[in-house]
Every structure is written in structure tokens, then in C-alpha cells.
Structure 1
């Protein structure tokens, strides 16, 4: 078994009788699917992350078949179907799920705006489990206009880890509160390069401080992108990207790289990008002129990395850029009892009290403060941060969670924002920035989040990545987003 295989900690069951071979010490098993269908036609200008195998579902064709070995039905077991997106979907996408022989319809599976490296899960009704196992299923696109690629073995030399391959998750009702650590500390938390992968690495970094084993996992993941002093990744258009930084949201990974490999040559590329995107006042943002948009993300994805780089490389000029960028977000995006996720420098404000946006804001400020040198400006930011936290804590629901939009209960509770805010409160308390009340609020949130964990440790209940505007965030659509495991790492006891 090689190092990568050791990191992939899932269990695969291939026997003909899953119930007869159930391992009593596990709360779940993965039953990998055989995928059959038309040949995948990957255009020559397209690339699949890590060169992993992929299968394709096309609009207006018969779809693909997933099949398993025959199983004997068991009692008190539950089954979910999973596949993981190998592309970034920019439309409503629905797959019809039917049994392969009798055509029994199981569901219309909603994969709208799927993100690259995002697993989707469909609960299988108890009365359909036997038919699915005996017949297999057909996945057919009934809404969508573009090919959908998902990870599969597909005779490829390189294969996604088991949790990202098509499988049935077979489980009982037992809950292992630590299963999420197995997912995080493996290749099964790899995400799109940028803020999502940065959140994962930042969480692993927090857990690695006293653990050589965790450090080795972080090194393994970093090398998936930064091997041989280079940068290689699949961008959101499935294009192979080498050595390029496209947006301010892609700077976060360099905060972790700087703390683990402070002589890496690509750190200078991140610095160059930030300096190029700073205006005359030293405020960094994507866009130019009146088209610049400041977002709470940059508190975490720009100011924090710059503060780390300033300390690591002894560059006071980078600390100043960090402060200027942070202050601009505080001045523009926080108004009264609200924190807006984005706004223009001319005063337009959007996404009021959006949970994930607030999480980036608070966690970014907390992390930046820890790495900035002492100054009057730092103390001003600290005081502002403490006031912001009090406002946010007032929105926490009795169940310990925060709504998707804090002040709009009709948008429903949401776990990525909750986990991110709890991470900020925990980190702030641990570093002497916040009082014990923040720790108590974070603990309450952590306890509530446990019920949203899948048996194998992914966090459900997150709002989809923000490609569909307000409507997508407010309509209650919820999915699994592996990057949230990085937030959990900050709040783990």
C-alpha cells in the first residue's frame, strides 16, 4: 500500500452479501459502483482535476448505468447514492434516477450549480434498495444543456479516492462524531484551488501543530497543487492552469504555503498579484476603476495571507497592504447591525448578513490580527472586531445555528456559515481577542452541527456556492461541501 492509499481511509465492500459481511465496528461502508455508458468525449482543451478518471452524462441521451453486486437485504440499514462532480456547473441540472430493468423511478436528483469536487447524496427509499442492487440504476439528464462529468474509475490510471467515486453509502444510525476527521485528513477533502481549498488547508494546519501525522497529510495535499515548486490545477472551466492566479479569492492557499514552506518561490507570485491589484490607497480588490468590488472574502483570502507573508518574510509593506485592505472592508461592508458580503467603493451594498460572507469577515479579521505586528491601527481593528462579534452573536438561534441570512428566518438555518462563524469565535477566544461568551456560543454551534454530519463525516446543510445569486441562497437548497471540514477543524475540541 502506497502513501496515497494509506491516506484514503474509506472502506470498500465488494462481497455479494453486504449484510452478512457487515463490520460491526464501522457505522458505514462504501459500495463502489460499476459505471457503464457511452464513451466520455473530453474536448482536447479540457482537463479533469488531478487527471482522475471521469464519466459523462450528456443531455438528450440514454444516460449511464450504475450497478453493484447482488446483496441480501438486511434490517435497520440505510442507503444513500453518491456521485461527485468533476466540473463546475453553471445551470440547473437534474438527473432522473430509475432502476435499470423495471424503470422504477427513484427520484429527480437536483444537482443545480454543482461545484467542482462536490459530492451529491440521494437518500434511497427502503422499499427501493433491493431493486437498485438487483437491477442497477440509470442516471439520465432531464434538465441541463451541457455535458456533466463525474469522477469514476473508467479504466483510468489515476482514480479519485473512494468517497468521490460513485457509490452507495450503506450505514446504520450509529454516529461517530470524529468521522469528519477521516474525511478531512485524506484526499477526500481536496477542493477547487482557491478559497475552498484554502479553508481545508487552514483547518488541517490548525490540527497539525502537535501532530506529525497530520503534518504529513497537509504536505501530501499541498503537493497535489504545489509539487516541484510549481502550481498546477483545474480551473472552473476545466482548463489546466499552470502558475497563474486568477482572482483575489485564490490567495488564501498561500497563507498556508508560507507557514509550511516559507522559501517556496511561488510566494512571490502571490505578492506580485496583490501589489498589482492594489489601488493608490493600498486597497486590494479584483477589477479596476469603478468596477472594483470589495467582498468579505478578502478579509480571509487576502488580508490574512498578507499578514502571514509580512511576518514570515519580514515585509512591513505587506502588513500595511493587509491593514488597508481589511479597513476598507470594515468601513464599506459593516453598517449598523448588518455586515454585507460585497459592495462597491461607490457605496452599493449586497448580500446583507449572509452567513458564509460573515464567516469570512470574522475569521479573516481574527486571523489577520494574530499575525499583524502591534500598532495603533491593529488596536482599532481589534476593537471593531469585538463589536462585530457581539452583533453576530445576537443573531444566533436558540438551537445554536445561524440562518442563511441572519435576519431572515425564512431562509432557514445553514451550516457552512454557522461553522465558519463558530471557527472565528473559537479562534478569537483562543488568541485572547474575544471573551468567554464567544467560546460558549461556538460550543453551542458545534453541538448543533453534529446532527448534520453524514455517517462518514461530511457536513450537510450548506447553501450552494454562490453562482445563482440571492435566489439560490434563499430557496433552502442544501448540499454537502467538503471545504466546511476546514471550519470544523478550528472548532474541534
Structure 2
């Protein structure tokens, strides 16, 4: 069974392009733009380490939400040999994109590097990718080379999941990862890797008593919940520390009020709805073979049940 061997790019040389002022990339991982070839130089990736001779893929991770369609053209850096294109469509932050490469193309990339440019049609603004070296190996621009190791896929999955490399945008996607890490830890408590990863993941977004993250459009959403999908990560927070309710954060940044980690406000319990009482149907109005009870009509309904 073939699995992927990561060989991250040694350098990423990108044009100087300002990042959109109303958006933000997550974490502290460095990013690089891939801009329109008509107005900017290409982004160039180079590999200075040894690259095995094997077919594989060139992988990029999107670092800022994309709400349109963009095409990234890839070519060898010196000779300009076309390698293919990335078809980027409405990508989430942290979403990977792969470009398949045969063995000859991998050798060309290893020897020359690869230049990336955004096709002018239909793109309207640069594409931002994670560039490292502060990002995990799995999130940098990388060659993923096919190797044969039938025992490794499960171990590779476990290694990736129980690391910061599996972090996702705060909301339902990161909530699913947190659920997996929590279940893995509680099922195999002697293995501390899942619990360590769980703490590392929460530390990405929870800083003391503050919450720092971006909404699905890469806009800062500090100390507030952008919508219902942002609530899933709090399920694991509550399961890990049920004595501390996480509720009552401000609806907008700077609004007076308790923070996400404030334990002083406990949600009020909702009143339970009264259980409807049952009353016998008159036997003259009951069809043969049916139960003799029905819901009693409420005083405000103005109509009789069953008619």
C-alpha cells in the first residue's frame, strides 16, 4: 500500500503583496501570496534537501478563505516546463490542494524548483498559502512522494491526528477534530498523545480568558461566536471541565460583559414543559379497537380534541 512521504519546500520566495486589512490568517504561521502573473513576479518554491525518485504530488494549503474560483499554474522554475494547474474553488482556510506529478516531473521540481502564478481569469485577488517554516511539515508547500510501507497508514493517521498539524478552522471542523482527540484519549488513557494534542489545539484559540479565532470568511471573531457552527468546540471544553460553564461572552469585540471563560455566569435552566394529561374518550365517539385515551384539550385551544 502506497503512503505519502512529506518533503517540505526549503524556501518560498513570494512577491510583496499586502494582506487584506479586513481579514486575518490563523495562528502565527507565515503565509505567502500567489499573485496574478500579469502584474507580479511568480511565487517560487525550492528544495535543497534530497528528494527520492518517485512519483507523487505537490501540495499547497490555503491560508485565507476563498469565495471564488482561482487557477494556479505551476511550471519548473528554470526551464518553464509546464507541470499542471491547481483548480481552487471556494476553499476554506487550511484546505489542501494537490497537483499529481510523475517521476520525471518530481525530478524537475527537485532540480529546478517550481514557480506558481495565478491565472488572470477568473481570479480577482491573490491566493494566500501557508509557507513555513513555523508551520508543521504537513502544512508547508510539500512534495508528497509515494513510498511502499504496508504497516504505516494507521500509524501515519494517528501521528497526524495527535499533532497540531490536524488543526482546523474554529467551528464545526475543529470541533470534529477535538471530539476525535477526546474520544481517543478517553478510550486509550495510557497513551498521552491525544490529550497533549487536545491541549495544544485548544491553546491555539483559547488564550487565558480570551477567545481568538477567525470566522469562515477569515474575518477576526475574537470573544464572540459567529454562528451556530462555532459552538461545537465548546462541547469538548465542557466535557474536560464541566465545573466551569463557558457562556455569556460579548456579542461584539469590546462589548462589556463576561468573557468566554467566565465562570461567574451559569445559564439559567429552561422551564420544562408540562406533560399533557390524558382523559378517556367517550365510548360513543371511540372507533372500535382504538385506545381509550387521548390528549386533553387545553383551555385556550377553543376546540375539542378528536372532533
In 2, the alpha carbon distance for the partners of 1:194 and 1:215 equals 20
2:128 pairs with 1:153:
no
CA contact (8 A) 1:33 1:166 kept: no
Give the SS at the match of 1:218. Answer: helix
Give 5+ residue unaligned stretches, structure 1. Answer: 1-25, 273-312, 321-493
Match of 1:35 in 2: 12
In 2, the alpha carbon distance for the partners of 1:319 and 1:241 equals 34
User: What is the Cα deviation at residue 264 of structure 1?
Assistant: 4.1
CA contact (8 A) 2:9 2:45 kept: no
Match of 2:144 in 1: 169
In 2, the alpha carbon distance for the partners of 1:204 and 1:319 equals 34
Q: Deviations over 1:278-304 (max 9, x none)?
A: xxxxxxxxxxxxxxxxxxxxxxxxxxx
2:188 pairs with 1:200:
no
Q: Deviations over 1:288-326 (max 9, x none)?
A: xxxxxxxxxxxxxxxxxxxxxxxxx89753998xxxxxx
Give the SS at the match of 1:207. Answer: helix
Match of 2:76 in 1: 99
CA contact (8 A) 2:178 2:236 kept: yes
Match of 2:298 in 1: none
In 2, the alpha carbon distance for the partners of 1:49 and 1:113 equals 18
CA contact (8 A) 2:51 2:110 kept: no
Report the CA distance shift for 1:264/1:224 in structure 2 as closer, same or farther (over 3 A): farther
Give the SS at the match of 1:242. Answer: coil
Of residues 57, 61, 67, the one that matches 1:90 is: 67
Give the SS at the match of 2:89. Answer: coil
2:42 pairs with 1:63:
yes
2:30 pairs with 1:53:
yes
In 1, the alpha carbon distance for the partners of 2:158 and 2:207 equals 24
Report the CA distance shift for 1:318/1:62 in structure 2 as closer, same or farther (over 3 A): farther
Of residues 194, 207, 210, the one that matches 1:230 is: 210
In 2, the alpha carbon distance for the partners of 1:126 and 1:319 equals 66
Give the SS at the match of 1:30. Answer: strand
Question: When you count helix as a share of all residues, which structure comes out higher?
Answer: 1
User: What is the Cα deviation at residue 85 of structure 1?
Assistant: 0.6
In 2, the alpha carbon distance for the partners of 1:164 and 1:111 equals 17
Report the CA distance shift for 1:229/1:316 in structure 2 as closer, same or farther (over 3 A): same
Calculate the aligned-residue CA RMSD, in Å. Answer: 2.7
Q: Deviations over 1:18-76 (max 9, x none)?
A: xxxxxxxx9624233411121242244432101221101122333211111274763xx
2:258 pairs with 1:262:
no
In 2, the alpha carbon distance for the partners of 1:91 and 1:319 equals 46
CA contact (8 A) 2:10 2:47 kept: yes
Report the CA distance shift for 1:132/1:115 in structure 2 as closer, same or farther (over 3 A): same
In 1, the alpha carbon distance for the partners of 2:223 and 2:267 equals 24
Question: When you count strand as a share of all residues, which structure comes out higher?
Answer: 2
In 1, the alpha carbon distance for the partners of 2:52 and 2:139 equals 25
Match of 1:133 in 2: 110
Match of 2:220 in 1: 240
In 2, the alpha carbon distance for the partners of 1:318 and 1:40 equals 55
Report the CA distance shift for 1:220/1:126 in structure 2 as closer, same or farther (over 3 A): same
Report the CA distance shift for 1:316/1:203 in structure 2 as closer, same or farther (over 3 A): same
CA contact (8 A) 2:85 2:99 kept: no
User: What is the Cα deviation at residue 172 of structure 1?
Assistant: 1.0
In 2, the alpha carbon distance for the partners of 1:140 and 1:27 equals 25
Give 5+ residue unaligned stretches, structure 2. Answer: 252-265, 274-307
Aligned length: 249
Give the SS at the match of 2:27. Answer: helix
**Rg: which structure is higher?**
2
The aligned runs of 1:15-414 (5 Å cut-off) are: 28-59=5-36, 60=38, 61-69=40-48, 71=50, 74=53, 77-142=54-119, 143-153=122-132, 159-175=134-150, 176-178=152-154, 179-209=156-186, 210-211=188-189, 212-264=192-244, 267-269=246-248, 317=270
